[in-house]
Amino acid sequence: MTDALILEVGDFLNFDKAQNVCPKGAMKEKSKNAARSRREKENAEFIELGKLLPLPAAITTQLDKASVIRLTTSYLKMRQVFPDGLGDAWGATPVMPNPRETLLKELGSCLLQTLDGFIFVVAQDGKIMYISETASVHLGLSQVELTGNSIYEYIHPADHEEMSNVLAPALPFQGTSLTDYEIDRAFFLRMKCVLAKRNAGLTNGGYKVIHCSGYLKIRQVPLGNGGPFEPGCFQNMGLVAVGHSLPPSAITEIKLHGNMFMFRASLDLKLIFLDARVAQLTGYEPQDLIEKTLYHYIHGSDIFAMRYSHHQLLCKGQVTSKYYRFLCKGGGWVWMQSYATIVHNSRSSRPHCIVSVNYVLSENEAKDLIINTTQSAPKEEVPGSPLEGHSPLTTPTRSINSLKYNPHASPQTGSGGGSTRLTGSTAIIESDRYSDSNGANSGHFEYNHVGMYCCGPVWNRPNLTNMPRPHSRTNGIIWRGRERRGG
């Protein structure tokens, strides 16, 4: 009897345990299934969201969730900046394709491919809203990798402040009737480059100099629904710009056209060597300019612009100058633009000299106007009248005799150990090579104006975008020629 009772009690306890175990297992399984279903739905939504991005399917199918969110956010910001320039709005019924629009899209794609650079749009906080895939050609970084991330992650730390100033707008005067306006921007950035050395061109410490030109887009916004615009209520929509590499990748020879000449100068812009074409374009023989500073031959109104370009060159290693007026022998000036690069010594990897390719963009203007004593032929000084024979616009800071060329000096040798010679039609700079931060050489410089090498469009055709030409007249500013050391 007792044994039977004990057996019944044991069976009851085991049954109670089984009843407790089964509901817990069922709930755990149910929760697991719910989580799996939620993940599947979430993945399906991310896949659909990725399909809506304006990217090839081969790219969107490989994106992770964080990248999809980052790219989608950037795309939505771009629609705010260009509401009518990115196709039909989401949810809109697609219209029949217009042959003209199709042609324009194909043309835009071709222009982007032929552009020796890349297009990018940066928000006020520095986030890259858009960058063209051609950035990978110049930087080695893909469009997907860059879009949505901060541009400060990809530029030299010393350029962060300059980038912040570029993105900071100067607001217009109160009471303006403009609803949208643009502020021109032109600047140089050292951007991270991960290309192989043979394809990267000129780099220093893993950074490459990029010439950026574009505009800051400002929009006036209403305070209420349909209300009038309030003065000073402006929104910075972001920077739209084009980036160019300087110079084109892997270039070792530069074709000099009829409107071009090159010079080699020390770091303080004292001229060491000049191409013979300078005589035809400016009237000066090369020996007239040897050992003279470039600042002596620049119009006084353009000195500060050249000083800024000189400073950028010393800081970043490459620069494209703004338009400036180079004074011609006998009077007047020609408009010029220069592409300058600092050459490093192949042995010490230290900056050695400046090599500049110069484009003459106009004929001689104001031929009868003498602005500087360097433009007139040397004359004998008359005792008691030190200013006689000089232009009333300027006061000489040196005696005429000090400006005469020394026939015993050798214009073929510059300071620093390198030498320059002119062989036939090719100016060759010997013993000077481009080098990166480790001093690795990447070839001699040869400046060929016969046609041995057809260089890229950046060097053959100066970039005229967003560089307004100064007014072609003398504004009364008098400049005393003097040397500038270090910009």
Domains, the chain, with CATH or none: 116-245 (3.30.450.20), 253-377+386-460 (3.30.450.20)
CA torsion 141-146-149-150 (nearest 10°) is 70
DSSP code per residue over 430-444:
ESEE-B-TT--B---
Task: Among 110-119, 265-274, 283-292, 312-321, name the one with the lowest average pLDDT.
Answer: 110-119
182 vs 425 pLDDT, higher one:
182
Q: Note the pLDDT tens digit of each residue in 39-91.
A: 999 989 988 888 888 888 888 888 889 999 999 999 999 888 887 765 555 44
212-222 pLDDT tens trace: 999 999 887 76
Model pTM score: 0.65
Please tell me what DSSP assigns to residue 290. Answer: T
Structural element, H or E, at residue 95: none
Dihedral angle sign, alpha carbons of residues 245, 360, 343, 319: negative
Q: H helices of 53-64, where?
A: 57-60
Pairing of strands 253-255, 445-448: parallel
pLDDT of amino acid 227: 54
Encoding tokens for residue 271? 């001229």
Asked if residue 405 has pLDDT above 50, the reply is: no
Cα 327–Cα 343–Cα 138 angle in degrees, nearest 5: 100
pLDDT tens for each residue of 239-271? 999 999 886 544 445 677 888 999 999 999 999
Residues 6+ apart with CB under 8 A from 91: none
Is residue 474 packed enough to be buried (19+ CB in 10 Å), middle (13-18) or exposed (0-12)? middle
Q: Is 461 exposed, middle or buried (0-12, 13-18, 19+ CB in 10 A)?
A: exposed
Reading phi first (left if > 0) and then psi (alpha if -120 to 50, else beta), residue 268 is in: alpha
The angle subtended at Cα 134 by Cα 313 and Cα 187, nearest 5°, is: 25
Q: What was the pLDDT predicted at 88?
A: 54
